[in-house]
Chains A and B, each alone.
Chain A
Amino acid sequence: MKITLSVNGEERSLDVDPRTTLLDALRDHLDMTGSKKGCDHGQCGACTMLVNGRRINSCLALAVMHEGDEVTTIEGLGEPGALSPLQKAFVRHDGYQCGYCTPGQIVSAKAMIAEFSNGWPSYVSDDLEAAPDFSEAEIKERMSGNLCRCSAYPGICAAIKDAAPEEGLNEREAAE
């Protein structure tokens, strides 16, 4: 089946079997291997991508269902020599050991900061209607869909907290 995706701002056409996940479409058909395949069952978050600005598990998405969608991957956030604030902060705070979960962590954190800035509450927010604090408890809860088997969580948390202002924390986006 022929489909077109906008990947990191570029129109890409590809021909895929309907069974192909969005993750496999990018990794195997477009040679974009930044997004990682961990569990392939939506449990680890290594495959996290932004689709139309929202973070999703790309392993639990069929490429054919995303015809025309805008996809952002780790490759779209920054590149060697021009890293994004989150990418720089992960280096600075040693937010990884083996690094396999890192692309998913960073893409997920990017979206998490936007969700937070739009006033979305989380399970640990005391008040559903008030703007929550960007606390460690909030970061941990909101990032619980990204596992790190090396357990680099203290560095991940510190990196996200450090980079958040530069990534637009509390700059409310216009509603869709």
Chain B
Amino acid sequence: MKPFDYVRAESREDALRADGRVIAGGTNLLDLMKLEVETPDRLIDVTRLDLREITRQENSLRIGALVSNADLAADETVRRDYPVLSRALLAGASAQLRNKATTGGNLMQRTRCPYFYDTTQPCNKREPGTGCQAMEGFNRILAILGTSDKCIATHPSDMAVAMRALDARVEIESPTGETRMLTLDEFYLLPGDTPEKETVLEPGELITAVHLPEPPKGKQAYRKVRDRASYAFALVSVGAVIDVQGGKIAAASLAFGGLGPRPWRNADVEEALVGETPSDAVFDKAADVLLADAKGFGANDFKIPLTRRVLKAVLSDLTGVSQ
């Protein structure tokens, strides 16, 4: 690990003033620092800040950025009103990691692309302009949607997929004390020509919370398919909220993990479902819309038919229609 200055922020002002890389749980950042994929000159430890509360506000639930993944999954309000989030969190990592990993840190974790992790290989995300070996290499876990000719990395979070389905917004504080609120689609960038830039977070800005709107109507589910039964990243995952009224789909919210560079959501997929009577054919149509632009890179081609099956299985479960 490269040497760094360590700064313990005692207040939010300290954290916003200090110029360096923010660390909270550190479960991903320290791993990357050991491999020298990340080499920050200065670490700003924000774990002493007062951002550990989950509070019910008017029309929202405010989750402090330092709430651990374990505490969030076990929170009684989240288990009752936002089960898709609790399920997604419990599907991620291990109990030890969930105790340490934080809400803000989970959003900021980096891809698990093997070429990003291997400093002997070129990688446009790690070293812009060096190329991408993943496109013709080991890309089993990598993206089929939202890729560019520079990068096919996936965002690895389960939590963020559920938050995307729940229309969560990220609360960000700037060094001048201003606060902005962004949806996850606004927060995360697609790789395009600059895969090294993953979010719109500016230097000095700090994620202070995530807000969930009122619990949505309908049933919620999180389904994750992976290479082993526990403690593995998603090949494909679906976070879903489906409301059926009078035999028709009244509302649908669907977000996907393992498919793209950010938790993937496509409003056209939801439009294909709303107003329809749930059926195998309707589910297939939604899958067609989702996968219209899907592109495999060889070892991850299987994700295209797998995504269709997982989506249809989730929709069948939530609408009570057998396939």
A residues near B (Cβ < 8 Å) are 1, 17-19, 21, 40-42, 45, 48, 54-57, 60-62, 64-65, 67, 108, 111-112, 115, 118-123, 125, 128-129, 140-146
B-side contacts of A125, CB under 8 Å: 90
Q: Give the contacting residue for A54; candidates B1, B26, B45, B70; CB below 8 A.
A: B70
Q: How far is the CA of A1 from the CA of B6 in the complex (A)?
A: 9
- B302 within 8 Å of A (CB atoms): no
B-side contacts of A144, CB under 8 Å: 94-95, 229-231
- How many chain B residues touch A (Cβ–Cβ < 8 Å)? 36
| Number of A-B residue pairs having CB atoms within 8 Å of each other in the complex | 106
Known contacts A18-B43, A60-B31; A42/B83 CB under 8 A: no
Q: List 15 A-B contacts (CB under 8 A).
A: A17-B3, A18-B4, A18-B5, A54-B99, A57-B100, A62-B23, A108-B95, A112-B95, A123-B90, A123-B91, A128-B83, A128-B86, A141-B230, A144-B230, A145-B95
Q: How far is the CA of A152 from the CA of B100 in the complex (A)?
A: 27
B-side contacts of A55, CB under 8 Å: 95-96, 99
Report the minimum CB–CB distance from B310 to chain A (whole Å): 16
Q: Are B70 and A60 closer than 8 Å at their CB atoms? A: no
A-side contacts of B23, CB under 8 Å: 62, 65
Known contacts A54-B70, A57-B97; A129/B80 CB under 8 A: yes
Q: How far is the CA of A140 from the CA of B95 in the complex (A)?
A: 12
- B73 within 8 Å of A (CB atoms): yes
Q: Are A60 and B30 closer than 8 Å at their CB atoms? A: yes
- B300 within 8 Å of A (CB atoms): no
Q: Give the contacting residue for A19; candidates B1, B27, B47; CB below 8 A.
A: B1
Q: Are A120 and B100 closer than 8 Å at their CB atoms? A: no
Q: Are B34 and A128 closer than 8 Å at their CB atoms? A: no
B-side contacts of A19, CB under 8 Å: 1, 3-4
Q: Give the contacting residue for A41; candidates B3, B34, B96; CB below 8 A.
A: B34
Q: How far is the CA of A119 from the CA of B26 in the complex (A)?
A: 27
A-side contacts of B95, CB under 8 Å: 55, 108, 111-112, 115, 142-145
Q: Are B96 and A56 closer than 8 Å at their CB atoms? A: yes
What are the 6 closest A-B residue pairs judged by CB atoms, nearest first? A145-B94, A144-B230, A18-B6, A144-B231, A128-B79, A54-B99
Q: Are B6 and A121 closer than 8 Å at their CB atoms? A: no
- B281 within 8 Å of A (CB atoms): no
